[in-house]
Amino acid sequence: MKDRLENFVRENRTDFDHKSPPADLWAKVEAGLPAKQRKLFPWKAFSIAAGLLVLLGLVGTWSYNQGMQQGTINSMAEISSELGEIEKHYQSEIKNKMAQLASFNKEDEVKSDIKEMEEFLNELKTDLKDTPKNEREVVIQAMIANYQSRVDLLERVLDRLQFNSTNKLSKDETKSI
């Protein structure tokens, strides 16, 4: 069949060259075609949305990491081992004094003050993270002073409670004589 078509075209070549298609031919062809259908899945929109999602994920991860870096210093040991030892000493003192206070059943009276001082210490730790290294000494001294203040407060309360309990015992002994 191919050979017959080729032979026909070769024999009638001159007739094909001088004839042109009618002007409305393309309009008739388009009218005969079925209506253009939309694609079921818009790949272009999907790829844009996926790109935005990846971008948002990267920005979110970066923001989270920046927030973590600008957070608080959890322990003075992160700055130096010497400061870590000082912090452990004060924390141990505070823990022991709170235990002594609990034996008098009076720890509730001091807990709010101690909690305020701890909150202030946490603010100092946040400030320390943002403070330039050459100016950190002032904040570190304030943190140590905070620990000292808590120990002093607990010592004063314990001294007063021990004094009161000693006086109460001596009054009770005097009454029994």
Domain membership of residue 152 as a residue range: 72-176
Q: Are residues 77 and 149 in the same domain?
A: yes
The gap from C-alpha 69 to its chain's centroid, in whole angstroms, comes to 9
Q: Are residues 79 and 19 in the same domain?
A: no
The phi-psi region of residue 164 (left if phi > 0; otherwise alpha if psi is between -120 and 50; otherwise beta) is: alpha
What is the pTM (predicted TM-score) of this model?
0.52
54 within some domain: no
Summarize the confidence of residues 135-146 as an average pLDDT: 86
- The H or E element containing residue 103 is helix 81-103
53 within some domain: no
Supply the pLDDT for residue 169.
55
Q: What's the Cα-to-Cα distance from 32 to each of 20, 37, 38, rounded to whole Å?
A: 21, 15, 18
Q: Are residues 76 and 27 in the same domain?
A: no
47 within some domain: no
61 within some domain: no
Per-chain mean pLDDT for the chain: 78
Q: Are residues 83 and 164 in the same domain?
A: yes
Domain count, the chain: 2
Look up residue 115 and give its amino acid: K
